[in-house]
Amino acid sequence: MTPDQEAADALVQKADALTRRARSGARLREGIRLYRKAFKMGDGAGAYNLACTYQNLGDYRKAVAWFRRALDAGDLSALVPLAQAELYGCGTRRNSKAALAKLQRIAGWNNVSWISPFDREQAMIVLAASLRDGWLLRRDYPASLKWLRRAAKLGSAEAIGLLEDLGE
């Protein structure tokens, strides 16, 4: 890690500490400033964490904009929240076809290091819920169960709980 990368990482860590549980005020503003600075220094985590901060504050348009910046910077973790935003139309125009394509792509990636198991599990769970409820697409219980079982096989406590609730 270069000294610039270390400095940017330190800014992200400080911003994380400042924005934790901050809903407004000087701490939040300073955290946002530090995330932006880290991103300008080339740290994609700054963009991703700033997007999460805006999402937690309910500013979905800004969240989507920063998730897109994180994705453009190479952070594939931003795909799941972007797909969810497109699926539900939060902060961006609803585009269920593009959202489902993203989710299926993420869920289908096996043995890749650039996407976390948690992100794969989340993609599978969102797909399962959409298929189970028939929301924005044709209801398909068998396909829903398939995605839940795959997420449970990866160790997702949420998927395991949902399967238990369904008597599986």
Domains located in the chain, CATH noted: 1-74 (1.25.40.10), 76-168 (1.25.40.10)
pLDDT digits (tens, 9 = 90+) for 64-85: 999 999 999 988 889 999 999 9
Half-sphere exposure of 120 (CA within 13 A, CB side): 19
Residue owning tokens 């995605």: 147
Ramachandran category for residue 134: left, alpha or beta (phi over 0 → left; psi -120 to 50 → alpha) = left
* Reported pTM: 0.84
Q: How far from the centroid of its chain's Cα atoms is residue 53's Cα?
A: 12
- The whole-number average pLDDT for the span 86-96 is 93
CA distances from 94 to 7, 84, 97, 126 (A): 38, 10, 9, 15
pLDDT at residue number 4 = 82
pLDDT at residue number 112 = 66
Q: How confident is the model at residue 111 (pLDDT cuts 50, 70, 90)?
A: low
- Residue 166: is its pLDDT beyond 70? yes
- Residue 58: is its pLDDT beyond 90? yes
Could you tell me which residues come within 8 angstroms of residue 157 by beta carbon, excluding any fewer than 6 positions away?
none
